[in-house]
């Protein structure tokens, strides 16, 4: 899940949101590809999930060890270690709600470079994990333990999201705590190129899901589906998931995506180090300073970037395109 940003630039108009997306345009010589790689940690001795902080070492200790091995800087939430990042822009590590361990890879010139990045990531991670007795499941959903047995990572935003999910779907908590993906990120050279890639990406995601289906188990038994993860996404939150039919209509572009995103309900507004629960509220009201739970508070640019990261269609637009249909799978 996206790392939150802090940009206090006031948003003065809808056009500023369009311009923010347009700033992602790259020259053809600078096009890159990126990978986001999630895996599910478990204790090798008991096959139990790994809590955040436990005697003998949990997810926190895993982050501490990896940070020391890579010399990456810490990401904190209320003084709790919840991620790492390379200060030279060469990637980051974050925690999904149930402890899924995510590498957010650097923008790289080829899939061969991203493969080499994944190899380096595991070369650093696996010695730390072995010392802690931790292994990783390369699956799209945790196959054995129930949702109630799944650890909860100490991130403020996840508490807000977890409280909201049951209001809008029956499987949103399963999405948060029990699924994992490998995501492909792509640059674009202009608005027309973005539209073409978004349309192709959306059309391909059902095929990607079928090709990389890798989550046939849940709660310790077969579900009868090859991708239980895909089924979970179908009943998470219809307002922010699934396909985007408007992307195939005439006139699709940055402005149309902005209008879509403005109509997706907010989860939170972050001010300083505090996440304010505004779940279900309208970003348009935030633009106008009319949020009932934050009277008079107006949108800043980090609100927009954080909001875009909490919209979950099968292919997503930020300053690059994200292809989100694949289950996590084996590195081989």
The pLDDT of residue 3:
58
Q: pLDDT band for position 131 (50/70/90)?
A: very high
In-domain check, residue 224: yes
25 three-class SS: coil
Model confidence at 121: pLDDT above 60: yes
Q: Which residue has the tokens 């059902």?
A: 206
Q: Which residue has the tokens 């095929």?
A: 207
Structural contact between residues 178 and 150, judged by C-beta atoms closer than 8 angstroms: yes
Structural contact between residues 106 and 164, judged by C-beta atoms closer than 8 angstroms: no
In-domain check, residue 4: no
The pLDDT of residue 332:
76
Model confidence at 65: pLDDT above 90: yes
Average of pLDDT values for 93-122? Answer: 98
Structural contact between residues 307 and 266, judged by C-beta atoms closer than 8 angstroms: yes
- The rounded distance, in Å, linking the Cα atoms of 106 and 92 is 8
Structural contact between residues 327 and 214, judged by C-beta atoms closer than 8 angstroms: yes
Q: Which CATH number belongs to the domain containing residue 119 in this structure? A: 3.30.590.20
Average of pLDDT values for 82-87? Answer: 98
User: Nearest-CA neighbor of 244 among 195, 189, 278, 292?
Assistant: 195
Spatial neighbors of 310 by CB under 8 A, at least 6 apart, are 2, 161, 240, 264, 266, 267
- The rounded distance, in Å, linking the Cα atoms of 314 and 236 is 13
Structural contact between residues 63 and 83, judged by C-beta atoms closer than 8 angstroms: yes
Model confidence at 5: pLDDT above 90: no
In-domain check, residue 156: yes
Model confidence at 4: pLDDT above 80: no
- The rounded distance, in Å, linking the Cα atoms of 186 and 33 is 5
In-domain check, residue 5: no
Output the six-digit token pair for 159: 């508490």
In-domain check, residue 181: yes
- The rounded distance, in Å, linking the Cα atoms of 288 and 100 is 37
- The rounded distance, in Å, linking the Cα atoms of 60 and 132 is 11
- The rounded distance, in Å, linking the Cα atoms of 187 and 129 is 33
Helix (H) / strand (E) containing 107: none
The pLDDT of residue 180:
99
Average of pLDDT values for 247-254? Answer: 99
Q: Which domain holds residue 62?
A: 14-321
Model confidence at 252: pLDDT above 90: yes
Residues 146-186: tens digit of each pLDDT: 999 999 999 999 999 999 999 999 999 999 999 999 999 99
What is the number of structural domains in the chain?
A: 1
Residues 275-325: tens digit of each pLDDT: 999 999 999 999 999 999 999 999 999 999 999 999 999 999 999 999 999
Q: Which residue has the tokens 């979970």?
A: 232
Average of pLDDT values for 12-27? Answer: 98
Kindly report the average pLDDT of the chain as a whole number. Answer: 97
Q: pLDDT band for position 108 (50/70/90)?
A: very high
Angle of the 14-22 helix axis to the 301-308 helix axis, nearest 10: 60
Phi, psi of 108 (to 5 degrees): -135, 160
Model confidence at 2: pLDDT above 60: no
Model confidence at 331: pLDDT above 80: yes
Burial code (b: 16+ CB inside 10 Å, e: under 16) for 187-225 equals bbeebebbbebbeebbeebeebbeebbbbbbbeeeeeeb
- Over its C-alpha atoms, the chain yields an Rg (Å, rounded) of 19
Above pLDDT 90, what percent of the chain?
97
User: Nearest-CA neighbor of 326 among 198, 171, 195, 139?
Assistant: 139
């Amino acid at each position: 899940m996206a790392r939150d940003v802090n940009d206090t630039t006031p948003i003065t108009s809808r056009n500023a949101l369009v311009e923010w997306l347009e700033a992602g345009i790259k020259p053809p010589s600078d096009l890159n590809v990126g990978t986001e790689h999630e895996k599910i940690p478990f204790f090798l001795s008991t096959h139990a999930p790994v809590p955040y902080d436990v005697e003998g070492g949990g997810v926190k200790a895993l982050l501490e060890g990896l940070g020391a091995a890579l010399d990456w800087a810490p990401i904190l939430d209320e003084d709790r270690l919840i991620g790492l990042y390379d200060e030279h822009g060469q990637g980051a590590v974050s925690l999904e709600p149930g402890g899924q361990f995510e590498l957010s890879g650097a923008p790289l010139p080829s899939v061969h470079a991203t493969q080499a990045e994944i190899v380096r990531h595991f070369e650093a991670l696996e010695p730390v994990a072995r010392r802690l007795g931790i292994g990783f499941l390369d699956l799209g959903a945790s196959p054995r333990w129930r949702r109630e047995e799944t650890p909860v990572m100490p991130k403020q935003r996840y508490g807000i999201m977890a409280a909201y999910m049951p209001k809008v779907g029956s499987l949103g908590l399963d999405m948060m705590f029990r699924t994992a993906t490998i995501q492909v990120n792509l640059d674009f050279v202009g608005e027309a190129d973005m539209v073409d890639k978004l349309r192709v990406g959306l059309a391909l995601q059902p095929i990607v899901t079928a090709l990389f289906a890798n989550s046939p188990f849940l709660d310790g038994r077969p579900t009868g589906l090859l991708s239980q993860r895909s089924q979970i996404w179908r009943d998470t939150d219809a307002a922010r998931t699934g396909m985007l039919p408007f992307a195939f209509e005439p006139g699709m572009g940055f402005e149309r995506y902005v209008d879509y995103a403005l109509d997706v309900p907010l989860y939170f507004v972050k001010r300083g180090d505090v996440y304010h629960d505004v779940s279900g509220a309208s970003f348009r009201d935030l633009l106008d300073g009319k949020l009932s739970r934050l009277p008079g508070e107006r949108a800043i640019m980090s609100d927009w970037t954080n909001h875009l990261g909490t919209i979950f269609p099968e292919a997503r637009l930020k300053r690059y395109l994200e292809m989100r249909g694949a289950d996590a799978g084996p590195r081989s």
